[in-house]
Structure 1
Amino acid sequence: MTMKQVDPGVETTPAPVLDVAGLPNDLMTAVKFTAPTDEDMTAVATLRAGSEPWKTRGETPEDSLKALTQLKPYIHVAKVQNQVVGYVTVERDGPVPGAAYLRNIVVKPELRRKGLGHVLLEQALKAARDMYRKTIALRVDPSNSAAVSFYRKANFTTVATVVSKKSGKLRLLMSREL
């Protein structure tokens, strides 16, 4: 009899439900940023897998964890009351030479449209400045009108339209000075 070793996978537990009503009114002061711990990485992976575009792609929390593990040094985890509520990923180099690269901003679904995205963006801008960058760039799906509007309101301008290597779809390349 031949036995095949099976990879047990990554154990993911559902994130505790956040008591949105019990949150402070001023999320700006309530959010604390940390480097991700192993426990945080599991929560961040679950958050990513349940968010667009990864959810539509069928990405599992295990797939997300694998992808995020490579980005761990660039992840800034946002916590409120010691619970992960979002994260932002900022790399020193990206598609625009000399510019920091804002790879992702992900917000817990129940906290969307409450200003947390702005808090995460401010953290990204701070991280880029700490990397001695004068510009930050990002790619966004042009059909994601909410995200495009969010970035435009934050003074990002479209500098090019590019084709995603992964999906083959068009993306807006946006940037702003710091």
Structure 2
Amino acid sequence: MTMKRVDPGVEVGAMPVPDMANLPNDLAPAVKFSSPTDEDMASVAALRANSDPWKSRGETLEDSLKSLTALRPFVHVAKVQNQVVGYVTIERDGPVPGAAYMRNIVVKPELRRRGVGMAVLNHALQTARDMYRKTIALRVDPANAPAVSFYRNAGFTTVATVVSKKSGKLRLLMSREL
């Protein structure tokens, strides 16, 4: 039997949180974006592993890190007080020809409904414009009512219902003009 050494310093739930008592209700102006550092990648992987749909699929921290490492050139990290509070992956090409593709957008649960998600989405929209795209597309689980509502309120419309290659479940393919 082989044993694998586990680094005790890496825990999925051990992500630092900004000082909540000193944060304004609208965090959008405080959100700063950057490309991920190696340290950021660990925080982003922990955020992903603790968020649905990855959490409900049983994705481990190691699985998340592997997936995100493959997407690293497309990952944009959102920080408040130098702490990772969310991220978005935005690719030049995706399932809709000629449209940028937003693969993931994740915000720390305790900071949702405080402007962070919209700041992350606006950053993704600008990134797509910087890629000279006129449209952005995404896929979302139709059962994820808060996400569907968020995207609809941001101007996205459903263009198709597709079957996920990974899960075999239905997903809404949504897009919006930039």
TM-score range, shorter chain: over 0.9
Distance 2:10 2:127 in 1: 29
The alpha-carbon deviation at position 24 of structure 1 amounts to 3.4
CA contact (8 A) 2:26 2:114 kept: no
The alpha-carbon deviation at position 115 of structure 1 amounts to 1.4
The alpha-carbon deviation at position 10 of structure 1 amounts to 9.7
Distance 1:63 1:9 in 2: 16
Which of 9, 12, 16 matches 2:10?
12
Distance 2:65 2:10 in 1: 10
Q: Which runs of 5+ in 1 are unaligned?
A: none
CA contact (8 A) 1:10 1:62 kept: no
Distance 1:155 1:32 in 2: 23
Taking structure 1 as the reference length, the TM-score comes to 0.93
Residue matched to 2:166: 166
Residue matched to 2:117: 117
Residue matched to 1:176: 176
Residue matched to 1:133: 133
The alpha-carbon deviation at position 28 of structure 1 amounts to 1.9
TM-align CA RMSD: 1.7
Taking structure 2 as the reference length, the TM-score comes to 0.93
Q: Which runs of 5+ in 2 are unaligned?
A: none
Matched-pair identity in %: 73
Distance 2:21 2:106 in 1: 21
SS at match of 1:54: coil
**20-29 or 69-78, which deviates more:** 20-29
Matched, 1:47 2:40: no
Distance 1:95 1:161 in 2: 12
Distance 1:50 1:109 in 2: 9
